[in-house]
Amino acid sequence: MLIVRPIEARDYESLYACAVESGHGFTSLPVDEALLKKRIARAEHAFAKTDVKQPGEEGYLFVMEDTETGTVVGVSAIEAAVGLTSAFYHYHLGKVVHHSPQHNVYNALQTLTLCNDYTGVSELCTLFLREPFRKGRNGRVLSKFRLLFMAQFRQRFADTVIAEMRGVSDTDGRSPFWAWLEKHFFTMDFPSADYLTGIGEKTFIAELMPKFPIYVNLLDKSAQEVIGQVHQNTLPALKLLKSEGFRFRGYIDIFDAGPTVEAEVKQLRTVRNSRLMTVQIGRPSVAENVLICNTRLQDFRACQADVSYAGDDVILTEKVAQGLQVTNGDLVRLAVL
C-alpha cells in the first residue's frame, strides 16, 4: 500500500536518491547533503507549528512510502509563500507595439521582462516519482493529495497557488533558452546556474540578468521555440494541473523558459469537490476510488482507496484505516480521484 506522509530525518537517504535520479533542471532537489538535510529539518519544523494563522516561510515536504517494504518511492512539496526573504524571479511575456501611421508600419513584438510578480503566493513543487512506480494512478495521487492538504489547512496557504513546470533541456542538461542568455550575459552553463538557484544562491541573477525587457525576436530561433514549452517528462504533470484549473498567464522560468501555471486555491477542482466525512470501518459495497486523507497535521496521511458512502459516513477497510491512522468516528477529507 502506498501512503503519503510528512518527511522525517530518517528519509534522508531516500531523498538523496530522488535528487540524483531527478537529473538536471530539477532545481528544488539539488544533490547537496547539507541542503537536503536542511530542507528536511525545515519541513519537520513546519509540520510541528500549531499556531499558523497565515502563510509564511513554511515548506511542507512529503514522501510517498510503500508500507509493505518501507521504501520511499517519491516526494512532493508545497511552499506556503514564496519570495518573502529572497527574491522569486520570473520572466513575463508581454507585448510592445511599434506603430508609424505615416509610414503604414505596425509591428506587435513580444518581450520578456524580469519580475517578482508571484511574491507571496503558494507553490506546488518538488514532485518526483521514481521510475518503477510510474504506473496506475500513483503520479496523480502524489500530485493531487497536496490539494486536499491545502483544503484541510486553508489558513496556511495564500489565495493563489502556482506550479513551475520544467522547461526543455537535453539529456546533458543543456537548455536552448539558457544557451542564449549564457552567450550574451553569463559565463556559466545551465546545470551550474540551476544548481546555484537550488541551493539558494540567487544574487547572481540580480547581478547578471539583463535589467531591461528583451525582444523575443532577437533571441536565437532555438531559444524562441522553447519559450513556454515543457520538458517531455513533465507533460503528464502539466495536463493534470490543467484539469484542476491551472492556467498559463505568460510567466516563464528565467533559466529554461518553462511555463509557470497558476490558479485560485478555492477554485481548484479537488478543493471544491472535497468534503469531510466520518469513518466507519467495514467492507465497502459499490466501491468508488477516491483520494483520501486524515485531518491531522504532524501525523498527516493520504492515499487512494476504494470506499463506499452511507450518508455522511465513509466506509473504509481495516487496511486503509490503518494506513491513514484513523478509526471509527474520526473525520477524513476525500475527493473523487
As annotated, the active-site residues are 231
Cell of 191: 546545470
Give the Cα separation of 293 and 270 in Å (integer).
13
Q: Which residues contact 10 (CB under 8 A, 6 or more apart)?
A: none
Taking alpha carbons only, the member of 321, 312, 325, 317 closest to residue 285 is 317
Which single residue is written with the C-alpha cell 517519491? 74
CA distances from 214 to 90, 91, 246 (A): 13, 10, 27
* C-alpha Rg value of the chain to the nearest Å: 22
Residue 123 near residue 114, CB atoms below 8 Å: no
Cell of 137: 494512478
Half-sphere exposure of 5 (CA within 13 A, CB side): 20
Cell of 53: 494563522
Residue 76 near residue 293, CB atoms below 8 Å: no
Listing DSSP states for 93-123 in one string gives EEEEEEEEGGGTEEEEEEEEEEE-TTTT-EE
